[in-house]
């Protein structure tokens, strides 16, 4: 049976898949990689990533709502950075798995 186990596992999968959904988009993943390096303003991210200001703002807003990012005003700039420590850890794992030279 193991139904109780499966049920709690299902719950965990739901939680994890929430985070994964945010990361499972090429542009958002790129944004997160960029922010993992250091915090950045919206404009910097737009230049670096190459999408419209509007879409960038929507992506950032969404990830902020989900608790992955925080923003802080700095003069006329809005600076975003990664809030959820799990994001760093997932990014690191992904790098290990996908980007390591396996020589």
Cα 49 from Cα 55, distance rounded (Å): 11
Q: Considering the rule CB under 7 A, would residue 57 count as an interface residue with DNA?
A: yes
Q: Work out what residue 43 binds among DNA, a copy of itself, none; the CB cut-off runs from 5 to 8 Å by kind.
A: DNA
Q: Considering the rule CB under 7 A, would residue 30 count as an interface residue with DNA?
A: no
Strand partners for 71: 80
**Cβ nearer to DNA, comparing 76 with 102:** 76
Q: Considering the rule CB under 7 A, would residue 41 count as an interface residue with DNA?
A: yes
Q: List the one residue out of 41, 51, 28 whose CA is nearest residue 80.
A: 41
Q: How many residues bind DNA (CB under 7 A)?
A: 24
């Amino acid at each position: 049976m193991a139904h109780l186990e499966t049920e709690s596992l299902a719950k965990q999968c739901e939680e994890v898949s929430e985070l994964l959904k945010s990361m499972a988009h090429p542009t958002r993943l790129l944004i997160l990689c960029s922010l993992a390096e250091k915090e950045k303003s919206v404009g910097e991210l737009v230049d670096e990533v190459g999408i419209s200001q509007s879409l960038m703002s929507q992506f950032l807003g969404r990830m902020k709502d989900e608790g992955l990012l925080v923003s802080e005003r700095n003069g006329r700039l809005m600076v975003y950075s990664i809030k959820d420590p799990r994001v760093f850890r997932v990014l690191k794992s992904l790098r290990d798995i996908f980007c390591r030279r396996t020589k």
